[in-house]
Amino acid sequence: MISRLRGQVISVEREAIVLDVGGIGFSVSVPSGTRASLGRIGEEVRLHTAMVVRDDSVDLYGFESTGEREFFHMLCEVKGIGPRTALSILSSLSPESLSMAISAGDIATLATAPGVGKRTAERLAVELKGKVGQFLSDKPAMAGATIDTDQTASGDAISALTSLGYSPLEAERAVAAAVAAGYSDDASAIIRAALSRLSRVE
């Protein structure tokens, strides 16, 4: 069972990245927010992975944290949700946002995730309600984000990206990466840097 990979990014595809680990290329499907927050091609990254073995395939799914991977496993236990749908859900909503929606029985929010209709959203709310407490914190922050969305420049950049059609999770992670790279004072500069990063994964 492969549970963790560390290697260089050699390509970024629509739904996956390819890591060179000791000369072997591993194709790892990752949430869109993770693709947006990764370093450039050639940089080293670490991913916590889940390996799904089927009769006709062996697939790897990668996450930035063990908590995100644990949430992926929980989602896969819900009837009607397979690995691809679980990954799609985590591309739209962070574990904390999902936990808040599940705890509140917010079917409308859950149903916004691609591949999740009203009935599936209802099953998520019912089956996972007692299991998501560990993913909730005292303040509503996106998992993996390293910025304060109350800051004017960062907040404006996130709003601009979401208005362009990016999910809140994609926007926050791309802006967090831009801020970490030194674009922290000017919203326009942050937006340009974030869009440059996002364009590499589209």
pLDDT value at residue 68: 92
pLDDT value at residue 151: 59
Tokens encoding 15: 């739904």
Looking at domain 4-63, its CATH class is mainly beta
pLDDT value at residue 8: 94
Q: Are 39 and 48 in contact (CB under 8 A)?
A: no
CATH architecture, domain defined by 152-199: Orthogonal Bundle (1.10)
| Whole-number Å distance between alpha carbons of 126 and 105 | 8
Fold match between domain 66-135 and domain 152-199: no
Q: Where are the domains of the chain?
A: 4-63, 66-135, 152-199
Looking at domain 66-135, its CATH class is mainly alpha
If the chain, 202 residues long, is cut into consecutive pieces of 10 residues, what is the mean pLDDT of each piece? 93 89 95 77 92 91 93 92 92 85 90 88 91 69 41 80 79 78 76 76 52
CB-based contacts of 139, cutoff 8 Å, min separation 6: none
pLDDT value at residue 3: 93
